[in-house]
Amino acid sequence: MGSASRGESVRAAAALRPRDDDALRAELRRIVGELAVPVAFGGVVRSDAVLKLSEFVGTRTRGLHGLLVAPASGLGGRVVALGRPAGVADYATARSISHDYDRMVVGEGIRSVVAVPVVVRGQARAVLYAAGRTEPVGDRATEVVARAAARLSTEFAIRDEVDRRMRMARAAAAPTGSADLAEGIRDIHAELRGFAGGVADPALRRGLVGLSERLAALVSGEHAAEPTVTLSPRELDVLAQVALGCSNIEAAERLSLQPETVKSYLRGAMRKLDAGTRHQAVVNARRLRLLP
Protein backbone atom coordinates (compact mmCIF):
# COMPACT_ATOMS: atom_id res chain seq x y z
CA MET A 1 0.00 0.00 0.00
CA GLY A 2 1.45 3.40 -1.01
CA SER A 3 1.83 6.30 1.40
CA ALA A 4 -1.08 8.16 -0.21
CA SER A 5 -3.38 5.13 0.18
CA ARG A 6 -2.32 4.67 3.79
CA GLY A 7 -3.04 8.35 4.44
CA GLU A 8 -6.51 7.99 2.94
CA SER A 9 -7.18 4.93 5.10
CA VAL A 10 -6.10 6.80 8.23
CA ARG A 11 -8.35 9.75 7.40
CA ALA A 12 -11.27 7.45 6.62
CA ALA A 13 -10.82 5.58 9.90
CA ALA A 14 -10.66 8.84 11.83
CA ALA A 15 -13.90 9.95 10.18
CA LEU A 16 -15.66 6.91 11.62
CA ARG A 17 -15.52 8.37 15.14
CA PRO A 18 -18.41 10.76 15.83
CA ARG A 19 -17.56 13.97 17.69
CA ASP A 20 -17.93 13.65 21.45
CA ASP A 21 -19.60 17.08 21.47
CA ASP A 22 -22.41 15.73 19.28
CA ALA A 23 -23.18 12.93 21.75
CA LEU A 24 -23.03 15.42 24.61
CA ARG A 25 -25.48 17.76 22.87
CA ALA A 26 -27.96 14.93 22.35
CA GLU A 27 -27.89 14.08 26.05
CA LEU A 28 -28.43 17.72 27.01
CA ARG A 29 -31.58 17.83 24.89
CA ARG A 30 -32.73 14.62 26.51
CA ILE A 31 -32.13 16.11 29.98
CA VAL A 32 -34.16 19.22 29.18
CA GLY A 33 -36.97 17.10 27.78
CA GLU A 34 -37.09 14.80 30.79
CA LEU A 35 -36.68 17.42 33.53
CA ALA A 36 -38.26 20.48 31.88
CA VAL A 37 -35.39 22.57 33.29
CA PRO A 38 -34.82 25.89 31.50
CA VAL A 39 -31.07 25.47 30.96
CA ALA A 40 -28.65 22.61 30.31
CA PHE A 41 -25.08 22.88 29.13
CA GLY A 42 -21.78 21.07 29.18
CA GLY A 43 -18.46 20.43 27.56
CA VAL A 44 -15.52 18.10 27.12
CA VAL A 45 -12.52 18.00 29.44
CA ARG A 46 -9.31 18.65 27.51
CA SER A 47 -6.05 16.75 28.00
CA ASP A 48 -4.82 19.50 30.33
CA ALA A 49 -7.84 18.89 32.63
CA VAL A 50 -9.46 22.18 31.58
CA LEU A 51 -13.19 21.94 30.90
CA LYS A 52 -14.39 23.82 27.81
CA LEU A 53 -18.11 24.61 27.76
CA SER A 54 -19.30 24.10 24.20
CA GLU A 55 -22.87 22.77 24.14
CA PHE A 56 -25.94 24.66 25.35
CA VAL A 57 -29.71 24.29 25.48
CA GLY A 58 -31.88 27.19 26.67
CA THR A 59 -29.22 29.84 27.28
CA ARG A 60 -30.15 33.50 26.73
CA THR A 61 -26.67 34.99 26.52
CA ARG A 62 -23.32 33.91 25.15
CA GLY A 63 -21.47 34.51 28.40
CA LEU A 64 -20.89 30.81 29.04
CA HIS A 65 -20.12 29.90 25.42
CA GLY A 66 -16.53 28.74 25.04
CA LEU A 67 -15.77 29.33 28.72
CA LEU A 68 -12.65 27.53 29.95
CA VAL A 69 -13.08 26.16 33.47
CA ALA A 70 -9.79 25.54 35.23
CA PRO A 71 -9.27 22.42 37.40
CA ALA A 72 -10.96 22.74 40.82
CA SER A 73 -12.43 26.15 39.88
CA GLY A 74 -16.16 26.81 40.04
CA LEU A 75 -18.67 24.01 40.19
CA GLY A 76 -17.48 22.35 36.98
CA GLY A 77 -13.82 22.35 37.97
CA ARG A 78 -14.79 20.91 41.32
CA VAL A 79 -16.65 17.91 39.90
CA VAL A 80 -13.79 17.28 37.44
CA ALA A 81 -11.36 17.18 40.37
CA LEU A 82 -13.63 15.06 42.60
CA GLY A 83 -15.02 12.79 39.90
CA ARG A 84 -18.53 12.93 41.37
CA PRO A 85 -21.68 15.10 41.10
CA ALA A 86 -22.14 18.33 43.00
CA GLY A 87 -24.73 21.07 43.07
CA VAL A 88 -25.68 24.36 44.66
CA ALA A 89 -29.18 25.64 45.47
CA ASP A 90 -28.15 29.31 45.30
CA TYR A 91 -25.10 29.81 43.13
CA ALA A 92 -24.47 33.45 44.07
CA THR A 93 -24.15 32.72 47.80
CA ALA A 94 -22.72 29.18 47.72
CA ARG A 95 -19.63 28.73 49.88
CA SER A 96 -18.69 25.27 48.58
CA ILE A 97 -17.27 26.57 45.28
CA SER A 98 -14.98 29.29 44.06
CA HIS A 99 -16.72 32.18 42.32
CA ASP A 100 -14.35 32.69 39.41
CA TYR A 101 -17.19 32.62 36.88
CA ASP A 102 -19.92 34.56 38.69
CA ARG A 103 -20.28 37.19 35.98
CA MET A 104 -21.09 34.59 33.31
CA VAL A 105 -23.31 32.37 35.47
CA VAL A 106 -25.28 35.15 37.17
CA GLY A 107 -25.46 37.01 33.86
CA GLU A 108 -27.28 34.00 32.44
CA GLY A 109 -29.82 34.27 35.28
CA ILE A 110 -28.88 30.91 36.78
CA ARG A 111 -29.75 30.40 40.43
CA SER A 112 -29.46 26.67 41.11
CA VAL A 113 -27.32 24.20 39.21
CA VAL A 114 -26.16 20.60 39.36
CA ALA A 115 -23.04 19.33 37.59
CA VAL A 116 -22.19 15.68 36.88
CA PRO A 117 -18.90 14.43 35.44
CA VAL A 118 -18.73 11.85 32.67
CA VAL A 119 -16.11 9.49 34.06
CA VAL A 120 -14.29 6.97 31.86
CA ARG A 121 -11.76 4.66 33.50
CA GLY A 122 -11.54 6.90 36.53
CA GLN A 123 -11.00 10.15 34.61
CA ALA A 124 -13.52 12.93 33.97
CA ARG A 125 -13.98 13.30 30.22
CA ALA A 126 -16.88 15.76 30.17
CA VAL A 127 -19.32 17.55 32.46
CA LEU A 128 -23.11 17.89 32.14
CA TYR A 129 -25.04 20.69 33.90
CA ALA A 130 -28.75 21.21 34.55
CA ALA A 131 -29.75 24.63 35.89
CA GLY A 132 -32.78 26.56 37.11
CA ARG A 133 -33.40 30.28 37.08
CA THR A 134 -36.02 30.54 39.82
CA GLU A 135 -36.78 27.12 41.30
CA PRO A 136 -34.10 24.76 42.68
CA VAL A 137 -33.37 21.93 40.27
CA GLY A 138 -33.66 19.34 43.08
CA ASP A 139 -32.43 15.81 43.69
CA ARG A 140 -34.26 14.33 40.72
CA ALA A 141 -32.16 16.51 38.44
CA THR A 142 -29.01 14.91 39.81
CA GLU A 143 -30.44 11.45 39.12
CA VAL A 144 -31.47 12.28 35.55
CA VAL A 145 -28.17 13.99 34.71
CA ALA A 146 -26.23 11.11 36.31
CA ARG A 147 -28.04 8.63 34.04
CA ALA A 148 -27.14 10.76 31.03
CA ALA A 149 -23.50 10.86 32.19
CA ALA A 150 -23.50 7.07 32.58
CA ARG A 151 -24.75 6.63 29.00
CA LEU A 152 -22.04 8.95 27.73
CA SER A 153 -19.42 7.13 29.77
CA THR A 154 -20.37 3.85 28.09
CA GLU A 155 -20.38 5.43 24.65
CA PHE A 156 -17.01 7.16 25.14
CA ALA A 157 -15.46 3.92 26.43
CA ILE A 158 -16.67 2.05 23.34
CA ARG A 159 -15.38 4.80 21.06
CA ASP A 160 -12.02 4.68 22.82
CA GLU A 161 -11.82 0.93 22.27
CA VAL A 162 -12.64 1.37 18.58
CA ASP A 163 -9.89 4.00 18.32
CA ARG A 164 -7.41 1.74 20.08
CA ARG A 165 -8.14 -1.18 17.81
CA MET A 166 -7.94 1.00 14.71
CA ARG A 167 -4.50 2.17 15.81
CA MET A 168 -3.46 -1.44 16.38
CA ALA A 169 -4.73 -2.41 12.95
CA ARG A 170 -2.83 0.42 11.26
CA ALA A 171 0.34 -0.42 13.17
CA ALA A 172 0.07 -4.08 12.23
CA ALA A 173 -0.55 -3.17 8.60
CA ALA A 174 2.37 -0.77 8.28
CA PRO A 175 5.09 -3.31 7.40
CA THR A 176 2.97 -5.82 5.49
CA GLY A 177 0.37 -3.85 3.57
CA SER A 178 -3.38 -3.72 3.25
CA ALA A 179 -4.23 -7.37 4.00
CA ASP A 180 -3.43 -7.03 7.69
CA LEU A 181 -5.32 -3.73 7.90
CA ALA A 182 -8.40 -5.35 6.40
CA GLU A 183 -8.16 -8.25 8.82
CA GLY A 184 -7.84 -5.86 11.75
CA ILE A 185 -10.90 -3.92 10.62
CA ARG A 186 -12.86 -7.16 10.26
CA ASP A 187 -12.02 -8.04 13.85
CA ILE A 188 -13.17 -4.58 15.00
CA HIS A 189 -16.35 -4.93 12.93
CA ALA A 190 -17.23 -8.21 14.65
CA GLU A 191 -16.53 -6.77 18.11
CA LEU A 192 -18.61 -3.66 17.38
CA ARG A 193 -21.58 -5.82 16.44
CA GLY A 194 -21.05 -7.83 19.61
CA PHE A 195 -21.01 -4.61 21.66
CA ALA A 196 -24.17 -3.38 19.94
CA GLY A 197 -26.09 -6.53 20.80
CA GLY A 198 -25.50 -5.97 24.50
CA VAL A 199 -26.32 -2.24 24.62
CA ALA A 200 -29.74 -1.38 26.04
CA ASP A 201 -29.90 2.22 24.81
CA PRO A 202 -31.52 2.19 21.31
CA ALA A 203 -29.73 5.32 20.06
CA LEU A 204 -26.33 4.05 21.12
CA ARG A 205 -27.06 0.63 19.63
CA ARG A 206 -28.02 2.21 16.29
CA GLY A 207 -24.84 4.28 16.39
CA LEU A 208 -22.67 1.20 16.92
CA VAL A 209 -24.41 -0.68 14.12
CA GLY A 210 -23.90 2.35 11.87
CA LEU A 211 -20.18 2.35 12.68
CA SER A 212 -19.95 -1.34 11.80
CA GLU A 213 -21.65 -0.71 8.46
CA ARG A 214 -19.23 2.12 7.65
CA LEU A 215 -16.32 -0.16 8.48
CA ALA A 216 -17.69 -2.73 6.05
CA ALA A 217 -17.95 -0.10 3.32
CA LEU A 218 -14.42 1.15 4.10
CA VAL A 219 -12.85 -2.24 3.42
CA SER A 220 -15.13 -3.18 0.52
CA GLY A 221 -14.26 -0.03 -1.42
CA GLU A 222 -16.23 2.27 -3.67
CA HIS A 223 -16.59 -0.20 -6.52
CA ALA A 224 -18.15 -3.05 -4.57
CA ALA A 225 -21.61 -4.23 -5.53
CA GLU A 226 -24.54 -2.50 -3.89
CA PRO A 227 -26.34 -4.67 -1.32
CA THR A 228 -29.27 -6.56 -2.80
CA VAL A 229 -29.80 -8.85 0.21
CA THR A 230 -31.05 -7.86 3.64
CA LEU A 231 -29.80 -9.84 6.62
CA SER A 232 -31.32 -9.51 10.07
CA PRO A 233 -29.04 -7.91 12.71
CA ARG A 234 -28.46 -11.29 14.39
CA GLU A 235 -27.76 -13.05 11.08
CA LEU A 236 -25.12 -10.43 10.37
CA ASP A 237 -23.73 -10.72 13.91
CA VAL A 238 -23.27 -14.47 13.46
CA LEU A 239 -21.79 -14.10 9.98
CA ALA A 240 -19.30 -11.51 11.27
CA GLN A 241 -18.03 -14.06 13.81
CA VAL A 242 -17.88 -16.79 11.18
CA ALA A 243 -15.81 -14.45 8.99
CA LEU A 244 -13.20 -14.39 11.78
CA GLY A 245 -12.98 -18.18 11.70
CA CYS A 246 -15.15 -18.83 14.76
CA SER A 247 -16.96 -22.12 15.15
CA ASN A 248 -20.64 -22.11 16.01
CA ILE A 249 -19.80 -22.71 19.67
CA GLU A 250 -17.26 -19.84 19.71
CA ALA A 251 -19.72 -17.53 17.99
CA ALA A 252 -22.39 -18.49 20.53
CA GLU A 253 -20.05 -17.65 23.42
CA ARG A 254 -19.10 -14.30 21.93
CA LEU A 255 -22.70 -13.33 21.23
CA SER A 256 -24.23 -14.84 24.40
CA LEU A 257 -26.43 -17.15 22.33
CA GLN A 258 -27.08 -20.88 22.28
CA PRO A 259 -25.17 -22.89 19.62
CA GLU A 260 -28.44 -24.07 18.08
CA THR A 261 -29.58 -20.46 17.79
CA VAL A 262 -26.33 -19.58 16.03
CA LYS A 263 -26.89 -22.46 13.60
CA SER A 264 -30.39 -21.19 12.86
CA TYR A 265 -29.19 -17.65 12.11
CA LEU A 266 -26.35 -19.00 9.98
CA ARG A 267 -28.73 -21.15 7.95
CA GLY A 268 -30.94 -18.12 7.38
CA ALA A 269 -28.00 -16.02 6.22
CA MET A 270 -26.75 -18.77 3.88
CA ARG A 271 -30.20 -19.15 2.36
CA LYS A 272 -30.56 -15.41 1.72
CA LEU A 273 -27.05 -15.22 0.27
CA ASP A 274 -27.60 -18.30 -1.92
CA ALA A 275 -24.54 -19.90 -0.37
CA GLY A 276 -23.91 -23.62 0.05
CA THR A 277 -21.15 -23.23 2.65
CA ARG A 278 -20.18 -20.95 5.51
CA HIS A 279 -17.20 -19.75 3.53
CA GLN A 280 -19.31 -18.90 0.48
CA ALA A 281 -21.77 -17.00 2.67
CA VAL A 282 -18.93 -14.82 3.97
CA VAL A 283 -17.58 -14.25 0.44
CA ASN A 284 -21.01 -13.27 -0.87
CA ALA A 285 -21.65 -10.96 2.12
CA ARG A 286 -18.34 -9.19 1.52
CA ARG A 287 -19.10 -8.79 -2.16
CA LEU A 288 -22.36 -7.11 -1.18
CA ARG A 289 -20.61 -4.89 1.41
CA LEU A 290 -22.54 -6.49 4.26
CA LEU A 291 -19.22 -7.51 5.84
CA PRO A 292 -15.78 -5.89 5.64
The domain spans of the chain are 20-148, 175-287
Low-confidence ranges of the chain (pLDDT < 70): 1-18, 165-184, 215-228
Which runs of consecutive H residues, i.e. helices, occur in 20-137?
20-35, 74-82, 102-107
| Residue 124: predicted pLDDT | 94
CB 275 within 8 A of CB 231: no
On the question of a common fold for 20-148 and 175-287, the answer reads no
For 169, other C-beta atoms within 10 Å of its C-beta total 21
Cα separation, 206 vs 31, whole angstroms: 20
| Residue 88: predicted pLDDT | 94
**In the CATH hierarchy, which fold is given to the domain comprising 175-287?**
Arc Repressor Mutant, subunit A (1.10.10)
| Residue 110: predicted pLDDT | 95
Cα separation, 66 vs 56, whole angstroms: 10
Three-class secondary structure of residue 28 per DSSP: helix
| Residue 1: predicted pLDDT | 41
| Residue 139: predicted pLDDT | 86
| Residue 180: predicted pLDDT | 59
Strand 86-88 versus strand 68-69 pairing type: unpaired
Of 238, 239, 193, 233, nearest to 212 (Cα)?
Answer: 193
pLDDT tens per residue, range 37-94: 999 999 999 988 999 999 999 999 999 999 999 998 999 999 999 999 999 999 989 9
For 235-246, b/e burial (b = at least 16 CB within 10 A) is bbbbbbbbbbeb
Q: What is the CATH number of domain 20-148?
A: 3.30.450.40
CB 39 within 8 A of CB 131: yes
